[in-house]
Amino acid sequence: MNAAAHDHDPVHDPMIPVPFRIEKVRRDLSDTFTMELVPEAGGEFAFKPGQFNMLYVFGVGEVPISISGDPADRSVLVHTTRAVGTVTEALDALKPGDSLGVRGPFGTAWPVEAAFGHDLVFVAGGVGLAPLRPAIYQAVANRDRFGRIIVLYGARTPEDILYKKELERWRGRFDLDVLVTVDRATGKWGGNVGVVTNLIARGGFDPLHTASFVCGPEVMMRYSAQALEKKGVDRGRIWVSVERNMKCGCGLCGHCQWGPHFTCKDGPVFRYDRVADLFQIREL
Amino acid sequence: MAKAKSNSIATPVLDTSGLDGLIKLLRDKGYQVIGPHRADDAVVYDVIDSIDALPAGWGAEQSPGRYRLRRRDDDALFGYGLAPQGWKRQLYPPRQKIFGASRQNGGFAVDAPPPPSPPMAFIGVRACELAAMGRQAKVFGDRDFADPGYQRRLAEAFVVAVQCNEADSTCFCLAMGSGPEVTTGYDIKLVEVVTKDRHVFITEAGSPRGAKMLKALKTGKASPADLSAAERSLRHAGQQQRRLDAAAARALAANPEHPRWDQLAERCLSCGNCTMVCPTCFCTTIDDVTDLKGDHAERWRKWDSCFTLDFSYIHGGAVRTETRSRYRQWITHKLSTWVDQFDETGCVGCGRCITWCPVGIDITEEAAAITDQGRT
Amino acid sequence: MVKPDTLGPIIDEHPFFRGIDAALRDLLTGCAANERFETGDMLFRQGDEAAKFFLIRAGTVAIEIDQPAQPPIIVETIGEGEIAGWSWMIAPYRMTFDARAVTLVRALSFDAKCLRRKMEADPVLGYEVLRRFLPVMAHRLAAARLQMLDLYGPRGAAKAAKPIKTEKAQTKSKGRNRAADARLDQAKGKKKKDGGS
């Protein structure tokens, strides 16, 4: 047998990470943090809302993390990560000035432009708000192109509300509706208690002219899509973001297959009517 | 590898020393020549330096869950049917170093890539194996992202194809449209003719570099008997016991809850042999390693199998916990969703998954049963 | 209290009774009253006689369970356009939870005895009211189940999850008849499943 091959072009190979330096780290929640990164070699980073990067911690490994910054700001790359495994915990241990590797951006985007002329309803659950944030930024930047813009957000407890300050700022605007609900009220919480689908049921949008972007745990997305349909929103105008085992990010490794789709490049953002049937198949 | 081109009026033949000359010539030109070789009671593709390495006079019996070498009653060099491992081992090695990186002033830098390995020449590529290379070439570069390593190795490879003269019991290339006739994708095509007193290879160039190479060799002319023997052999190779209706198998994806999946799971050991021998299976996983000091890191890509539990792991657990789901993923991808992804089937009909399944699960039988084609 | 004849339009406008037949609405109006609760007021308490149900017109109501030595557990919050209370339909007509006004709450209440009597007497009204309650109850049940899942919590007890899941998968998998398993089962005298041969 011939020896292991190792012949990759470091410029064009999608498998080679590019070093980025951590500029800032902000702790959002007890286990969730947001990093701002800049390329060590200089230059900009362009992406579309909903896309993700593979983040590489030197010698430890790599994880797919969605980009959560403003797509209009190419000078900095923003990632919000929840520390739940070896690599994300290693990411959590990094400090400003440290380096990490970035491959990407990969995957499909929230079709913000396709929603022009409609009411736009964001439905987020837990850290699922992070992949939606770039789309919210983009929608707000094009505020006059939409009817109502509604952000519905479900969190575990009031302490688990991500981007709290930003949500408050958005809620302070006269042209955005921001509704937050928690599964479990704690402390002096005076807001909504219950699942995010309750907020969908309350409406406030014109279902016949509504586009909706849904992101959160898969169960939450399935029931949210169902609640939106029940309100009269067409499945062809609902988009969801699906998580599978993305290892290469570019359709070469096969791990993230979901029915006919490579989640990493045909997704993560899928139009709901194209995948609704797949959601029904167990262990697909 | 290059496209075939029909040409030539008088059909040239190489004798065994001519074939040896081809191997030597390829080596002289800087190719690493890889061909069939008998080792570990099987035929494997390995580095060879002359025709002496070829498995002269060896054949193989293949049936579900069974592979045995046996002596042939002639001295055929390519009479061993299909070797257990196809050429993906060469084109997409089981372990590939993706990069090395070193710590450097607080950060890290990716090492300069090592010089590329020499180009390879493959001796004895079957029609179904050529088809498999085409399938993988599409996976590794047809769409948005390419694997530069695979593309380079394939583009550089000099392909000497050998047409099958007989079919194994597990073969069904005819049904999949990928054989037994070698029609495209080769630099030189050989058809072995072996009788009591004559041993030659009817030869055809499929590319300019193939033609150039042949010109440098001493060739004879094919006799009418050679040509009719070749025709007979091709017919013989087309007599296959198994068939698979590729169009009907598309319906696998529409039958995720067929009771047959449970019956299959009763037999399937989830060992992943089928994925390892399949010439189109391309899944890999990643290993990140460091040296003891932690100053140097490497990333390795290794073949992986959708039959492992970890394959579908996402935060919280594996998606496909049951054997039925994993087998379903494999065969459905191979015969159905592959078409959605790449506009062609992922199966070339080589039958290796049947031969090398320890319990003899037969992909043709299962596909027919699950898509209700009236076979069991 | 507002005079009954001004309540009709309020009923008409509330999503819960939207589109109801005018004659049935007039029957409802006779049992209705306008109410207002200041922040912290209780709409009802667990164990109370279920004498009313409420159409919330404005404000937020917390459905709660009281517990000793701890703040009450808020099960869910109910807002404008929604209803509070359905124990009035189910004997022995006792409230199941506490309901507290989180903000100033304006509501329309319906007298349970009055409504039950009219519903008994007029099955069309009875069916109409039940037909509108049932989807709300189904939605609340589904929502309560989802809420129980703790979807945003750490999945499967974080790091311990992986091996545990693996073990479970091996013992529960339908494909578990790895040869060894099958032999073991046979040795134990277990009956082998039919099919597959």
Q: How far is CA A77 from CA A38, A141, A198, in A?
A: 6, 18, 34
Q: To the nearest whole number, what is the mean pLDDT of chain B?
A: 93
Per-residue pLDDT tens over the stretch B247-301 = 999 999 999 999 999 999 999 999 999 999 999 999 999 999 999 888 999 999 9
- Is there a single domain that holds both residue A86 and residue A133? no
Q: Which residues, 6+ apart, have CB-to-CB distance to B189 below 8 Å? A: B4, B160, B161, B162, B163, B182, B203, B204, B205, B206
What's the rounded mean pLDDT across residues A77-99? 95
Are C76 and A189 an interchain contact pair (Cβ–Cβ within 8 Å)?
Answer: no
C175 chain-B contacts, CB cut-off 8 A = 264-266, 268, 270, 322-324, 326-327
In this predicted structure, the answer to whether residue A25 has a pLDDT above a threshold of 60 is: yes
Per-residue pLDDT tens over the stretch B185-219 = 999 999 999 999 999 999 999 999 999 999 999 99
Residue A244 lies in a domain: no
Tokens 């010089």, located at residue: B115
The beta-carbon neighbor of A2 closest among B117, B294, B297 is: B117
Q: Does any CB of chain B come closer than 8 Å to the CB of residue A253?
A: yes
Which stretches in chain C have pLDDT values below 50? 1-2, 156-197
Are C152 and A160 an interchain contact pair (Cβ–Cβ within 8 Å)?
Answer: yes
Residue A1 lies in a domain: no
The beta-carbon neighbor of B96 closest among A5, A62, A99 is: A5
- Is there a single domain that holds both residue A158 and residue A227? yes
Per-residue pLDDT tens over the stretch C116-170 = 999 999 999 999 999 999 999 999 999 999 998 889 987 644 333 333 333 334 4
Are B321 and C155 an interchain contact pair (Cβ–Cβ within 8 Å)?
Answer: no
For residue C75, give the 3-state DSSP assignment. strand
- Is there a single domain that holds both residue A77 and residue A167? no
Q: Give the percent of chain B with pLDDT over 70.
A: 96
The pLDDT, as a whole number, for residue B93 is: 96
What is the dihedral angle through the alpha carbons of C71, C83, C102, A136, rounded to the nearest 10 degrees? 100
Nearest CA distance, A148 vs chain B (angstrom) = 35
What is the distance between the alpha carbons of residues B183 and B204, in angstroms, rounded to a whole number? 11
- Is there a single domain that holds both residue A145 and residue A195? yes
What's the rounded mean pLDDT across residues A83-93? 94
Give me B25's structure tokens: 């010539």
The pLDDT, as a whole number, for residue B113 is: 87
Residue A144 lies in a domain: yes
Q: Does any CB of chain B come closer than 8 Å to the CB of residue A251?
A: yes
Q: Which of A87, A195, A230 to mutate: most C Cβ within 10 Å?
A: A195
Nearest CA distance, B288 vs chain C (angstrom) = 19
What is the distance between the alpha carbons of residues B154 and B137, in angstroms, rounded to a whole number? 8
B322 chain-C contacts, CB cut-off 8 A = 169, 172-175
Give me B111's structure tokens: 């090492």
- For domain C4-148, the CATH superfamily is Jelly Rolls (2.60.120.10)
pTM of the model: 0.89
Domain boundaries, chain C: 4-148
Q: Which of B263, B321, B370 to mutate: most C Cβ within 10 Å?
A: B321
Q: Return the number of other C-beta atoms located less than 10 Å from residue B158's C-beta.
A: 23
The beta-carbon neighbor of C196 closest among B266, B313, B321 is: B266
Residue A8 lies in a domain: no
Are C175 and B270 an interchain contact pair (Cβ–Cβ within 8 Å)?
Answer: yes
At which of A217, A238, A259 does a domain end?
Answer: A238
Tokens 């085992």, located at residue: A245
Nearest CA distance, A171 vs chain C (angstrom) = 18
Q: Which domain holds residue A117?
A: 113-238
Which chain C residues have any C-beta within 8 angstroms of a chain A C-beta? Answer: 60, 62, 73-77, 79-82, 102-103, 139, 142-143, 146-147, 149-155, 158-159
C-contacting chains (≥3 CB pairs under 8 Å): A, B
Are B266 and C178 an interchain contact pair (Cβ–Cβ within 8 Å)?
Answer: no
Q: Give the percent of chain A with pLDDT over 70.
A: 96
Residues 169-208 of B with CB under 8 A from A: none
Tallying the residues shown for chain A, one arrives at 284
DSSP 8-state class, residue C50: -
The beta-carbon neighbor of A183 closest among C60, C80, C147 is: C147
Strands A32-39 and A77-82: antiparallel
Q: Does any CB of chain B come closer than 8 Å to the CB of residue A265?
A: yes
Question: B105 with A40: CB under 8 angstroms?
Answer: no
Per-residue pLDDT tens over the stretch A89-109 = 999 999 999 999 999 999 999
In this predicted structure, the answer to whether residue A6 has a pLDDT above a threshold of 90 is: no
What is the distance between the alpha carbons of residues C118 and C26, in angstroms, rounded to a whole number? 11
Query: CA B4, B6, B8 angle in degrees (round to 5)?
Result: 130
Nearest CA distance, A19 vs chain B (angstrom) = 7
The closest alpha carbon to B177, from B376, B349, B45, belongs to: B349
Nearest CA distance, A228 vs chain B (angstrom) = 26
Residue A247 lies in a domain: no
Are A192 and C60 an interchain contact pair (Cβ–Cβ within 8 Å)?
Answer: yes
What is the distance between the alpha carbons of residues A167 and A189, in angstroms, rounded to a whole number? 15
The pLDDT, as a whole number, for residue A12 is: 58
Search chain C and give the residue with CA nearest B328: C175
* Domains held by chain A: number: 2
Which stretches in chain B have pLDDT values below 70? 1-9, 142-143, 374-376
Residue A135 lies in a domain: yes
Q: Please spell the DSSP secondary structure of B228-269, one letter per residue.
A: HHHHHHHHHHT--S----HHHHGGGGG-TT-THHHHHHHH--
C168 chain-B contacts, CB cut-off 8 A = 321
Amino acid at A256: C
Give me C111's structure tokens: 């007298």
Strands A149-155 and A119-125: parallel
Which chain C residues have any C-beta within 8 angstroms of a chain B C-beta? Answer: 155-156, 161-162, 165-166, 168-169, 172-179, 193, 195-196
Model ipTM value: 0.91
The beta-carbon neighbor of C77 closest among A85, A193, A220 is: A193
Q: Return the number of other C-beta atoms located less than 10 Å from residue A206's C-beta.
A: 13
Strands A177-182 and A149-155: parallel
Query: CA B150, B89, B360 angle in degrees (round to 5)?
Result: 130
Search chain B and give the residue with CA nearest A243: B314
Residues 221-250 of B with CB under 8 A from A: none
At which of A61, A86, A106 does a domain end?
Answer: A106
- Is there a single domain that holds both residue A126 and residue A197? yes
Strands A210-215 and A119-125: parallel
The beta-carbon neighbor of B319 closest among A251, A262, A283 is: A283
The pLDDT, as a whole number, for residue B217 is: 95
For residue C183, give the 3-state DSSP assignment. helix
Residue A260 lies in a domain: no
